[in-house]
């Protein structure tokens, strides 16, 4: 599957960057991906497989949509939606190789 270096969400271009580490100083946690809204950047851990990177990008896109449309979804809902949407894309051969 092809991993893009940028993606447009709600009319805004987000640069996708692959990094060695992602930390959140407020929660003292490590993440697989993170969106920096003010800079229009999506950070993804570089150590993941291509499939893992794609799933994480999809997860971050859902976070952006959640924020843009004020859906107020809980993290668990976003995780489940990510898994379900990824499976639909995969099962229907909608992921570009």
Mean pLDDT of the chain: 92
Write down the pTM of the prediction: 0.91
Tens digits of residue pLDDT in 24-35 = 766 656 689 999
Instruction: DSSP for the chain, please give it.
Output: -PPPSEEEETTEEEEEEEES--EETTTTEE-SEEEEGGGTEEEEETTS-HHHHHHHHHHHHHHHHHHHTT----HHHHHHHHHHHHHHHHHTT-S--
Instruction: Parse the chain into domains and list their residue ranges.
Output: 6-91
Tens digits of residue pLDDT in 72-96 = 999 999 999 999 999 999 999 998 7
């Amino acid at each position: 599957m092809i991993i893009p270096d940028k993606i447009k969400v709600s009319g805004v271009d987000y640069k996708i960057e692959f990094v060695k580490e992602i930390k959140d100083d407020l929660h003292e946690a490590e993440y697989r991906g993170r969106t920096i809204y003010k800079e229009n950047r999506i950070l993804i851990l570089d150590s993941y497989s291509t499939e893992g990177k794609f799933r994480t990008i999809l997860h971050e896109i859902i976070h952006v949509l959640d924020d843009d449309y004020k859906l107020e979804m809980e993290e668990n809902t976003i995780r489940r939606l990510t898994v379900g949407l990824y499976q639909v894309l995969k099962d229907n051969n909608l992921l570009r190789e």
